[in-house]
Structure formats: C-alpha cells, structure tokens
Chains A and B, each alone.
Chain A
C-alpha cells in the first residue's frame, strides 16, 4: 500500500510538479487569508451587535426585548460602552445612575450600577405596537401569572396608572389596566415587594386619589 502511494506521488511530481508547487503556494496563501479574515469577522461581530445584552448569554432570560443589561451580570464597563448614554450621576449610596435617550424629554431610560454590577434598569416601552419592545400587561400575566401586588397611582403617568410588581421574579411593570399597555419595565435582582417599593418605587403614588379631578 505504501509503495503504491509512493509511486503515485512520484508520478504526480513528475507530470505536474510545477502545478503542484503553485497549488501548494496558493493553498498556503489562501489559508493565511482565511484565518485572517475569519478572525477579523469574529472581532467585528463581538463589537457590532447592539441588540446583544452585555453580560448576558442566550440562556439568560430577558424580561424585555429591548433591555440593555442583565441584572448582576452586566458590569460598569459594559454599561459605559452602551450607546445612547446621555447622563451619569452618583447617588447617595455610591451607586451610579446612567441615563439613556428615550422618546420622552422628561423621562429617560435608566441603568443603575453598584459595586460594578447593574442592580436596576428602567425601560420605557414604545407607544406604537409596531415598534420593537412593545408589550402588553396580559402577556406578562400569561407568562408569569398575577403580580404579587398591584398599586394604583403613578406620579408621572397619572392616578389611574398602576404598578404591577413581580418582586420575587425581579421585575415590575407600570401600565394602564384599561388599555393593557405597558409604559415602563423595571428589572432588578429578585427581592421583596417592600424592598422594591423602597428602593425603586419612586414613581408609585400610594396617596393618589381614586380618580382625576
């Protein structure tokens, strides 16, 4: 068997030596090019996917299709690399609040980072059902069940707007029960309802009257 192969190589070398040499050179050059190209494409793809959630992986669950971070996974550096940052402020507890552009002048998307990890994200949901990220309250109730607590009264959106708190699942919604629309999504580390209200429930207006005057 080996002698047979040797004979064939000799024959090939004899009849097509120049062609073979040229082919080997091309293969080498092409291989180098392919390796260089593939590594370049891989490098581009890691920096070019704005829809990727820093710190996240495909197995981690996203509460909103438009959320920018994964709680306790995304790091401060990754947040600072996110596009659309319009503000940064240090909070009294040493945490850092990053504000991101939103369709509203007076209310922005937010990410709060503490101890180099994201602890809270506020996502404003678009009002058009055609826009990415548009969701309904009923979708969440179907997937996650009834909220642990629902509180009527929003300082920003009005007295009839409610906050649907899924504290043990690490998220809350602000929405309109009449139209089933979600206005905002808050993500945070799973906690108690009380803790959520205390830490992140600044929009909740517990004293709001049961109506508008």
Chain B
C-alpha cells in the first residue's frame, strides 16, 4: 500500500517542482534583464549598478555588425576627413553609448571576474533599445575592446562595469599591453626607413609603413632628373613640353615597347620610337607605386591619335582599354597619367580604389583642378566634369609630383603648383592617393 502511494505521488510533485524551477528561472531572468526602461532609439540611462553586458559593433576588418551603417554618429575631431570604417580603425578602442556617457567621452570598462580593464571612447549612438530591453544594460564595444575583455567572442555579453573617466585618459587596455586581435592592415611605426623594426609589440597584422615606398615621391622624381622648373628634359619629350620631370636612370632596354607589354600589359599604336620611350619612362617612374599591380590583368593600348568616339584625347574600356593621346601633346606624361587614372578606376574594385572615401573627399574638398571642379578657388574655363575626372586628376597629380597644372586648351590653369602636394587644401584627396597608389 505504501509503495503504491509513493509511486503515485512522484509525478505531481515532479511536475510542480518543474514548474517551480521554470518559475525561478523566468523570475530571475525577468529580474536581471528587464531592468531597462529604454524607450527611444538607444538607451540614455546609466545602469543603476554600473554593470553592463559587453557586445561588439563596428565595421572594421574582422568584425562587421550587420545592423551598423558603418558611420559613427559622433565621430571625434581626430577622425576629421576619415570615412566611418577608417575612423573606427584609427581609434580601435571605441564604444557606442554616446547617449549614456556623452559624446566622445572616455569610459573605463572593466571585467570584474578577470580584472581586465580597457578605456574606450564613445563615438556612436547605440546599442538599440530593443537589444537592451531583451538583455539588460549593454555597452557596445569595438571588436578589439570586446575581444580583449572577453574570450575572443567579439562581444559575448560578458558582464562588465563601465564608468566615465577623464578625457585625457589614454585609450586601450589599462595594463598598457596594447593587445589587439583586430586583424588590422593598418601600419605601424617604423624606426627609420622601410624594413625597420616596429616600436610596438602588437598582435595585429602589421605591414611596413608604405609612406616610404608608396610612390615615386618628389625627391625620387627629382633624383630621376625632375624638378619644379625642369622642362622638356625627358627623353623623347616633345619640344616645349612641361612634363619632362620624369626621367628614370638606368639602362634603356633594347625594346621599350616589349617591356611595356610584358611588365604592364600596355601596348602602343602609332608612336615613334621616341614616343614609346616617353611612355616607357612614365611607367618606369611609377614602377614603385601600385600601378603595376593595379594593371594586372588589364590589357591597355595607347594610341597616338584622338578617340574616334570622343573626338579628342580620352579613354574607353570594354574587355580591353584604350587610351587616345597623340604623340607630341603638351604635358604628355601628365595627361597619359590622367587617362591611366580612368583605366585604373574602371578596372579595379571600388574597395581597392577607395572610391567611397574618394567620393567623400571630392564632396568635402572639391575638385583638384578646374577641369574636375567645382574647383575650390578657381574659375576654370572647363565645364565641371565631376568626380570621375577628379579621380583621374588625382592619379595624374600623384604620379607626377613635380608637375603643375597646365594640361590642355580648355584648362585655363596656369598655376605651376601641383594641387595635391603643394596645396594644403586637399588632405583627403592625398590620403586616398596614398592608400591606392
């Protein structure tokens, strides 16, 4: 009899306790998670107990929040002129939560169970109220910060504390380790020239600072025989040309045309031997830039003629690209570089060419020349041709650092200055060129 009663009593008691445990779970969840009263886009209230769950956001390499528009809503002054992702890369240690801690404020975030702390800067609005209502108070951290505090999960809702600290507090881990798992392609600082040792011991993928090698710079150009006053010194340059600056040293190959074809995929049509040498010189001068890489897989022919469809100097690309520029044209190398800029622009992915960043540079700074205006201070004779022409101008100015502007009949520039290098008005343009070329 007793045994029967015990068997009978087991199931209702188990059922009741199951409900009880469920109740405890949900009550606890409700008690801990539903403390937020977030009602707008993002929370504006500091957590009552200073505790938050750490999440990750941002659009830098290695982590992309699918709900992020990749534009920090409150970019700090040090990000002036940078795109959203570039701002995030530059800061590295950042957070959202501007509505909680204030705009561009430093916040010390600590994981109590490990003692790890990191200082971040608030640069964006967020996290969304919906996420906070579901999870309790959140602090949305950069991938680096979230990963540093967590276990490599890029924001796994680890419990952290957060409090505002002085604006001059250095960003990053408070132990000064500077550890980052961000797979950044950003540059480190080198001691001396390229190939020197890094001054920081970081766990990021670093590559040498390209600023020493990114192009044939002004000094190199002058070493090649160029100079701001040089005229018509390039071999094969037409009389009266102002673009004789590029004159590489070394031995001229027996067949410069064949070298152009094999090294750069560039053919020539209708040029004299001197004209081919002139083209060869330009490509040799820029061989240390990324131009050869950007031309990989691109078949280009330079014609000593005007374009049948354009009725003048220009270019077009379909399965192959054509550049039309008659031999003897004034500022031949500069204009060839300009047309080459079009070829690079259309033949490479926008990301490689930093097109979005360039468009924002163009929108912010205007065109580099009257030809690609709106020129910031000029009254160019040319009609405004827009950003596509400005990209080509950017390439031309960058590859011809000692070249001033004086490129054609419609272009009224008499300014001998190179807008990119000798005018401080175009830092965003210059930044794009450095990255692309």
Shortest CB distance B14–A (Å): 11
Instruction: Select the stretch in A33-41, A87-95, A165-173, A185-193 that faces chain B.
Output: A33-41
> 1/0 per residue B55-81: CB within 8 Å of A?
000010100101101110000000000
Also in contact, A50 and B363, with CB within 8 A (given A15-B5, A40-B34): no
Shortest CB distance B28–A (Å): 11
Assess the B59–A131 pair: CB atoms within 8 A.
Answer: yes
Shortest CB distance A66–B (Å): 9
- Which residues of A have CB within 8 Å of B19? 23, 26-27, 30-31
Assess the A211–B307 pair: CB atoms within 8 A.
Answer: yes
Give Cα A159–Cα B355 distance, bound, in whole angstroms: 15
- Which residues of A have CB within 8 Å of B342? 212
Also in contact, A30 and B20, with CB within 8 A (given A103-B84, A209-B309, A210-B316): yes
Assess the B16–A48 pair: CB atoms within 8 A.
Answer: no
Also in contact, A178 and B347, with CB within 8 A (given A29-B23, A84-B69, A211-B316): yes
> 1/0 per residue A152-178: CB within 8 Å of B?
000111111000000000000000111
The answer to the question of B26 belonging to the interface, with a C-beta cut-off of 8 Å to chain A, is yes
> 1/0 per residue B182-210: CB within 8 Å of A?
00000000000000000000000000000
Assess the B64–A48 pair: CB atoms within 8 A.
Answer: no
Shortest CB distance B297–A (Å): 11
> 1/0 per residue A46-76: CB within 8 Å of B?
0111110000000000000000000000000
The answer to the question of A198 belonging to the interface, with a C-beta cut-off of 8 Å to chain B, is no
Instruction: Select the stretch in A104-112, A115-123, A138-146 that faces chain B.
Output: A104-112
The answer to the question of B421 belonging to the interface, with a C-beta cut-off of 8 Å to chain A, is no
Residue of B29, B41, B359 with most chain A CB atoms under a 10 A cut-off: B359
- Which residues of A have CB within 8 Å of B388? 157-159, 212
Contact of A26 among B16, B30, B61, B133 (CB under 8 A): B16
Contact of B314 among A127, A158, A212 (CB under 8 A): A212
Give Cα A20–Cα B11 distance, bound, in whole angstroms: 12
Contact of B131 among A37, A48, A126, A131 (CB under 8 A): A48
- Which residues of B have CB within 8 Å of A40? 34
The answer to the question of A197 belonging to the interface, with a C-beta cut-off of 8 Å to chain B, is no
Assess the B130–A12 pair: CB atoms within 8 A.
Answer: no
Give Cα A106–Cα B367 distance, bound, in whole angstroms: 14
- Which residues of B have CB within 8 Å of A105? 359-360, 363-364
- Which residues of B have CB within 8 Å of A211? 307, 309-310, 314-316, 322
Also in contact, A23 and B22, with CB within 8 A (given A130-B61, A132-B66, A213-B313): no
| Category for how many chain A residues contact B | 35 or more
The answer to the question of B166 belonging to the interface, with a C-beta cut-off of 8 Å to chain A, is no
Assess the B12–A12 pair: CB atoms within 8 A.
Answer: yes
Give Cα A106–Cα B315 distance, bound, in whole angstroms: 26
> 1/0 per residue B12-52: CB within 8 Å of A?
11001001101100110110001000000100000000000
Assess the A50–B347 pair: CB atoms within 8 A.
Answer: no
Also in contact, A179 and B69, with CB within 8 A (given A23-B16, A213-B310): no
Assess the A12–B8 pair: CB atoms within 8 A.
Answer: yes
The answer to the question of A150 belonging to the interface, with a C-beta cut-off of 8 Å to chain B, is no
Shortest CB distance B66–A (Å): 5
Shortest CB distance B18–A (Å): 10
Assess the A158–B346 pair: CB atoms within 8 A.
Answer: yes
Assess the A44–B134 pair: CB atoms within 8 A.
Answer: yes
14 CB-based A-B contacts, threshold 8 Å: A26-B16, A26-B23, A30-B19, A33-B26, A34-B22, A48-B128, A48-B133, A50-B128, A129-B351, A131-B59, A131-B64, A156-B387, A176-B350, A177-B318
Residues of A with Cβ closer than 8 Å to B? Answer: 8, 11-12, 15-16, 19-20, 23, 26-27, 29-31, 33-34, 37, 40-41, 44-45, 47-51, 83-84, 101-107, 126-132, 155-160, 176-179, 181, 183, 209-213
Known: A26-B19, A213-B314. 9 other contacts (CB 8 A): A19-B13, A26-B16, A30-B26, A103-B70, A106-B359, A107-B359, A127-B351, A176-B346, A181-B349
Residues of B with Cβ closer than 8 Å to A? Answer: 5, 8-9, 12-13, 16, 19-20, 22-23, 26-27, 29-30, 34, 41, 59, 61, 64, 66-67, 69-71, 83-84, 128-131, 133-134, 307, 309-310, 312-318, 322, 339, 342, 345-351, 355-356, 359-360, 362-364, 386-389, 392
